[in-house]
Chains A and B, each alone.
Chain A
Amino acid sequence: MHTTVVVIGAGQAGLAMSHQLTAASIDHVVLERNEVAHSWRTERWDSLRLLTPNWMTRLPGHRYQGDDPDGYMTSADVVEYLDDYQRAFSAPVVSHTAVERVVARAAGFDVHTDHGTWATDAVVVATGACSRPCVPDVAASLPAAIRQLTALEYRRPDQLGEGGVLVVGASASGAQIADELQRNGRQVTLAVGEHVRLPRTYRGRDIHWWMDAIGQLDERYDEVADIDRARRLASLQLIGSPERRTLDLNALITGGVDVVGKLARIVGQTAQFSGGLANLVANSDLKQNRLLNRIDEFIAETGERCDLDEPWRPTATRLATVPTELSLSRFETVVWATGYRPTYPWLDAAAFDRRQRIIHDGGISAIAGMYFLGLPFMRRRKSSFIDGVGPDATELVLHLRTYLDQRR
């Protein structure tokens, strides 16, 4: 089988790429191991909603048409949205076809799947940034009696026993899971490392409305001072909820969650936590306030929004005495919400650096004709958002077209 471009993965990134390839009349297929939006169907907890409001769920040629632009989609809503998108332009998705090997040839690539081999000029990898949970080595030191699960495996509170829970990680996943478990009668301890604190709304608008308006989400990968650091930045400590509530450490502490520093190690029956939490929360508060200052400056410069609420600042994070050691007897379950990594078991070693990270420049692989889409801060700050894959796909198609033209 032959096609000009093979897109791997039919989530928002793969579909956005397919849409832009279709618009450019470039022959292609989208290979999908299961069906469209598979990870939205199977790898999300029940209560999860997007962190971005509905109006911001923009894909090339497709936008939210419902009556709740400020709400937040559930996973089921996202599945429906992406199904609609695929149907709207008849994206050439080949479902239930798992890629097994991508082999570079002189004249392009052979993409081997469990249903035959595609010969292609170019490959776009759009399999997402969250394929594999990232669990720290310390997990191996936990006694077998403590049940461990990752944020990818977590679905709902009744999956766990009634006993105490240690949630490790306080970005979006960890903060939301800790909050849900504490509200459902579990005593939760939350181990907090570096995190990005934000209020859900500011001066009457969603924080993402502001981040979009001031251009922060459009900041480009080749314009930030330290792109490696920007790409490693934790996800925003936010929750999408019908009441648009803020989920920060103050809210969690008020709800009864015990907060400790980053999990450092397990010694016998004791968990040890970093004593450096005060600095991390001070840093988060400072960064949050810098963003709010930027928003205030933007409002002052643009001038016309006289209907807005007055400027305000969230209360500084209030930590009580934070223990640095806890007995493991408090915990029946440990939930690892310590981040995710993409995996590409079917790519050649040449695609990776010595730390096993793919080598790319804004999604353009060091291997000619190979592209990536949907990774954190790949070309702009919102690259890993649904709202970010469209502009990235548009730019990559321009590059891809030049690449294809040069080969002819």
Chain B
Amino acid sequence: MTDTQAPPADNGVNVAHLLGAREHLTEAPEAAEFQFRAHCDWVNGTHSRTVIDSYSGLGAEHMHRQSFAIEADHPEVFASQDNGASPPEIALAALASCLTAGIASVATNRGVQLRSVSAKVEGDIDIQGILGIDGDVRNGFNDIRVTYDIDADASKADIEAIVAQSQKRSAVFDIITNPTNVTVEVL
């Protein structure tokens, strides 16, 4: 039930640093206030490009090692040009990558060596919602399923517990499963 005294595992995660940060931020909660940002420009049609380069936290401004760009568009079946993944697909990617990062961290903390981790993510969406055909149909996903295939030095129950703990500590899992206040303004 506890995470203590597990043998070291190397999954490329600096768990000692994370645990140190947890201890430090317990004493200095103001430093735990982060802000993440993205800057999106319309390109043409339904194509947009979002650039992510800066964030704040630990009481300071930070730059990513490099600027990252995400192309988004709609697929050809919507008569679009398919210059990038659709925004809902990017949301699925965010969920899977967040959970996967959590799995690597939790596994390391529990001394579990990972060999491979892959996730299939499926989101069911009824586009009668976004097309305004049926007001009772929501715009977003009705159901999201993530299926992990994990090869690791651990029992199935231990792997399931790692995946469960990863969900418990995942930002994007929380963002998707719980409502969030969103304000959109125009300059």
Contact = CB atoms under 8 A, between A and B. Distances in A.
Interface in B71-95: none
Nearest to B29: A354
Contacts of A290: 1, 157, 161
A283 B180 CA distance: 24
A264 B3 CA distance: 30
Q: Which 6 A-B pairs have the closest CB atoms?
A: A275-B177, A225-B2, A276-B177, A279-B167, A283-B164, A272-B179
Nearest to A290: B1
B3 A282 contact: no
B160 interface: yes
A43 B48 CA distance: 60
Residue among B1, B3, B161, B167 with max Cβ neighbours from chain A (10 Å): B1
A276 B157 contact: no
A286 B157 contact: yes
Contacts of B4: 225
A274 B178 contact: yes
Contacts of B2: 224-226
Contacts of A262: 178
B173 interface: yes
Indicate the member of B3, B176, B179 with the most A CB atoms within 10 Å. Answer: B179
Contacts of A282: 160, 164
A283 B1 contact: no
A279 B1 contact: no
A283 B168 contact: yes
User: Interface size for chain A: under 10, 10 to 19, 20 to 34, or 35 or more residues?
Assistant: 10 to 19
Contacts of A276: 167, 173-174, 177-178
Contacts of B1: 287, 290
Interface string A265-289: 1010000101110010011001101
Interface string A176-213: 00000000000000000000000000000000000000
Contact of B160 (A264, A274, A286): A286
A362 interface: no
A261 interface: yes
A207 to B, nearest CB: 16
B176 A225 contact: no
A264 B179 CA distance: 7
26 contacts: A224-B2, A225-B2, A225-B3, A225-B4, A226-B2, A264-B178, A264-B179, A272-B179, A274-B178, A275-B177, A275-B178, A276-B167, A276-B177, A276-B178, A279-B164, A279-B167, A279-B173, A283-B161, A283-B164, A283-B165, A286-B157, A286-B160, A286-B161, A289-B157, A290-B1, A290-B161
B150 to A, nearest CB: 15
A142 B52 CA distance: 39
Contacts of B176: 275
B179 to A, nearest CB: 5
Contacts of B174: 276
A132 B158 CA distance: 38
A275 B167 CA distance: 12
Interface in B144-169: 157, 160-161, 164-165, 167-168
Interface in A220-246: 224-226
Contact of A279 (B3, B168, B179): B168
Nearest to B1: A290
Interface in B1-54: 1-4
B175 to A, nearest CB: 11
Nearest to B5: A225
B31 to A, nearest CB: 15
Contacts of A226: 2
B16 to A, nearest CB: 15
A261 B157 CA distance: 23
Contacts of A289: 157
Contact of A261 (B3, B165, B177): B177
A286 B162 CA distance: 11
A262 B173 CA distance: 14
B130 to A, nearest CB: 18
A3 B178 CA distance: 54
Given A276-B174, A276-B177, A282-B164, 16 more contacts: A226-B2, A261-B177, A262-B178, A264-B178, A265-B179, A272-B179, A274-B177, A275-B176, A276-B173, A276-B178, A282-B160, A283-B164, A283-B168, A286-B157, A286-B161, A289-B157
Interface in A63-122: none
B30 to A, nearest CB: 12
B147 to A, nearest CB: 13
Nearest to B2: A225
Nearest to B164: A283
Nearest to A262: B178
Nearest to B161: A286
A86 B160 CA distance: 49
B168 to A, nearest CB: 7
B148 to A, nearest CB: 12
A275 B178 CA distance: 6
Contacts of B179: 264-265, 267, 272
A232 to B, nearest CB: 13
